[in-house]
Amino acid sequence: MWPYPKVLAHRGGGTLAPENTIAALRCGLAYGYKAVEFDVMLSKDGIGVIMHDPDFGRTVAGEGNVARTPASDLVRKDAGAWFGPQFAGETVPLFTEFIDYCRSQGIWMNIEIKPVPGHETDTGRWVAQKTRARFSEELRAGDTKAVPLLSSFSMEALAAAREAAPEVPRACLFDTMPAGWQAQAAALEAVAIHTNQKHLTPELAQAVKAAGYGLFCYTVNTPERAQEILAWGVDGFCTDRIDLIGPGFAGCGG
Ligand code: G3P
Ligand code: MG
């Protein structure tokens, strides 16, 4: 049911490195992490880049918006200096560069499709098509464990991903699970439900598992909470605290 690693580094390296950068992946690797969650959105010219916020100002200095900036400009932007001077020069990664690095290091990926509002369909389609192309061998071989899992808060993006590349697995991502979660997951042929650990209850966890879906939570930052939700049947989670929770967290099996 859950063929994937159980503990993932959120945004590459959690809170130990600038999010969604290659430096974050290196940091995760240094802590033994070989599984990661990260966010993808499209540039003005329709190229996937690894960013969480559609607007500049937090991880990237200045004013601007990913959807109004060509990829050639985005990749020159510093995405590390905000976090610390030792990370200055770390740039916004292209999606293809980022997943190729993960592949080269044997890092499994939960790819969160994070469309800039208004770009749900094109982002879902682009990410699914690129993922299928990059993992064509693994898909052909039925190597489920090696193929990334796509997730999104945008059901529209997931629908576009399904239409473009139905064989790349999908997960519905919810902050609070809506009453109709099961119908949405069925319509999207999702394999898993990803949800905010804050709002999860043992009853909801049981319902997800009884319906046959994988269950994954974000963002679990203490070993105690990890232990608690795993006991409810949660299959996996991502964490910001890769220093507190190891990739082989007790009972998880890594
Ligand atoms: O994919 C789980 C989690 O990353 C969703 O929240 O805002 O950190 O992308 P956010
Ligand atoms: Mg995310």
Q: Looking at ligand 1, which residue's alpha carbon is closest to its atom 5? A: 218
Catalytic site positions: 10, 52
Q: Looking at ligand 1, which residue's alpha carbon is closest to its atom 6? A: 218
Digitized pLDDT (tens) for each residue of the chain, 254 residues in all:
799 999 999 999 999 999 999 999 999 999 999 999 999 999 999 999 999 999 999 999 999 999 999 999 999 999 999 999 999 999 999 999 999 999 999 999 999 999 999 999 999 999 999 999 999 999 999 999 999 999 999 999 999 999 999 999 999 999 999 999 999 999 999 999 999 999 999 999 999 999 999 999 999 999 999 999 999 999 999 999 999 999 988 643 33
- Beta strand residue intervals within the chain, DSSP E: 7-10, 35-42, 48-50, 108-113, 149-152, 170-174, 192-196, 214-218, 236-239
Within 6 A (CB) of ligand 1 lie 10, 37, 39, 52, 112, 151, 173, 194, 218
Q: How far is CA 201 from CA 124, 140, 174, 204, 230, in A?
A: 30, 38, 14, 5, 12
Q: For ligand 1, what atom is nearest to the CA of residue 218?
A: 2
- In the reported structure, the alpha carbon of residue 84 is separated from the centroid of ligand 1 by a whole-number distance in angstroms of 22
| Domains recognised in the chain with CATH numbers | 7-239 (3.20.20.190)
Q: State the ipTM, two decimals.
A: 0.99
Q: For ligand 1, what atom is nearest to the CA of residue 114?
A: 9
Query: pTM of the predicted model, to two decimals?
Result: 0.97
Q: In this structure, are residues 93 and 21 in contact, taking their beta carbons and an 8 Å threshold?
A: yes
Q: How far is CA 228 from CA 200, 208, 217, 233, 234, in A?
A: 11, 16, 12, 9, 9
Q: How far is CA 194 from CA 8, 54, 167, 236, 237, in A?
A: 13, 21, 19, 9, 9
* pLDDT tens digit sequence for 223-233: 999 999 999 99
* pLDDT tens digit sequence for 3-62: 999 999 999 999 999 999 999 999 999 999 999 999 999 999 999 999 999 999 999 999
| Helices 120-134, 155-164: inter-axial angle, 10-degree rounding | 40
Torsional sign, CA 209, 32, 81, 113? negative
Q: In this structure, are residues 102 and 111 in contact, taking their beta carbons and an 8 Å threshold?
A: no
